[in-house]
Amino acid sequence: MLKYNTFSITARCQRTGELGVAVSTKVPAVGMLCPFVQSKVGAVATQSWVNPYLGIWGLEYLASGHIAQETLEYLKTRDAGIEGRQLGIVDSAGGSAAFTGSECDTWNGDLTGPNYAIVGNMLVGSETLEAMKVDFEGDASRPLVERLLSALAAGQAAGGDKRGRQSAAVKVYSTEAYPALDLRVDEHSNPVAELQRVYEVARTDLVPLIEMLPTLNRPEGNFDSDRQRELGLLQDQAD
């Protein structure tokens, strides 16, 4: 069984309703099995002796109208190995819940507040989660993805995973069924810093393209020719 000894933040933006998860660990490809997010429904981080079905079942239960705490109690009944799991859950209204099983290793724990759940195991100590909490509660005017990345960096600076660093990921959903951003660093000596670098590239080279994509309310997309020229995607015929 794959174990993600991990620190993560699951959160909602009060201003925009965006939902997301940011996570880092000393195992490759944490973005594959830990973060689960659905637009207008909620977000779930599943870690420690990871069970991806807790993310899948959690989103299904949230989508049926249940709040975060109800979803956590439901998930406990679905998994015979629940004492080896960690969960962070945030619903579409900003309700939060977290769980740390009795079989999680070394220092482990969780913190919750309006619009966020922070969980971690095999950490150097509680300072990792406390630093993430303080950082996330700071400037709520920033985009959710930037608040998530900043909180993750604060956790890493405070100690992070006791065993070291290897992968990190951030996943954010806005109003559509596809992600607004889904960025991953699967194997790196400093994955949190590398994830921030990847985001800075994506912010200029990817986000404007995503903003042009078809949406449910604008199925034709927004392929404005002036904007495409600005981004270097369209050349004048004379060029």
Residue in the block written with tokens 């769980």: 99
Residue 228 lies in a domain: no
Residue 15 lies in a domain: yes
Residue, of 157 and 239, whose pLDDT is higher: 157
Q: Residue 126: is its pLDDT beyond 70?
A: yes
Strands ordered across the beta sheet of 19-25: 107-113, 116-123, 6-12, 19-25, 167-173, 181-185
The model's pTM: 0.91
* Strand-pair partners of 49: 3
pLDDT-based confidence at residue 34 (cuts at 50, 70, 90): very high
Helix (H) or strand (E) holding 123: strand 116-123
CA distances from 165 to 23, 70, 186 (A): 11, 33, 11
Residue 223 lies in a domain: no
- Helix residue ranges per DSSP H, 14-102: 52-63, 68-78
CA 169/CA 29 separation, integer angstroms = 8
Residue 195 lies in a domain: no
In this prediction, residues 49-69 reach a mean pLDDT of: 97
Task: Give the chain's domain count.
Answer: 1
pLDDT-based confidence at residue 234 (cuts at 50, 70, 90): very low
Residue in the block written with tokens 């507040």: 113
Name the average pLDDT for the chain: 91
Q: Name the DSSP letter for residue 227.
A: H
User: In 23-40, which positions are buried (b, 16+ CB within 10 angstroms) versus exposed (e)?
Assistant: bbbbbebbbbbbbbbbbe
Q: Name the DSSP letter for residue 85.
A: E
Residue 19 lies in a domain: yes
Q: Is 195 helix (H, G, I), strand (E, B) or coil?
A: helix
Amino acid at 197: R
Q: Residue 231: is its pLDDT beyond 90?
A: no
Q: Within 10 A of 216 (CB to CB), how many other CB atoms are there?
A: 9
Q: How far is CA 193 from the centre of its chain?
A: 16
Q: Each residue of 67-112: pLDDT tens digit? A: 999 999 999 999 999 999 999 999 999 999 999 999 987 789 999 9
Residue 235 lies in a domain: no
Residue, of 227 and 129, whose pLDDT is higher: 129
Q: Residue 202: is its pLDDT beyond 90?
A: yes
Residue 58 lies in a domain: yes
Domain containing 127 equals 3-189
What are the tokens at 61? 């239960």
Query: Pairing state of beta strands 107-113 and 85-91?
Result: unpaired
Q: Residue 60: is its pLDDT beyond 90?
A: yes
Residue 159, pLDDT score: 79
Residue 125 lies in a domain: yes
Look up the CATH number of the domain holding residue 76: 3.60.20.10
In this prediction, residues 7-33 reach a mean pLDDT of: 96
3-state secondary structure string across 139-154: CCCCCHHHHHHHHHHH
Residue 235, pLDDT score: 52
CA 206/CA 193 separation, integer angstroms = 19
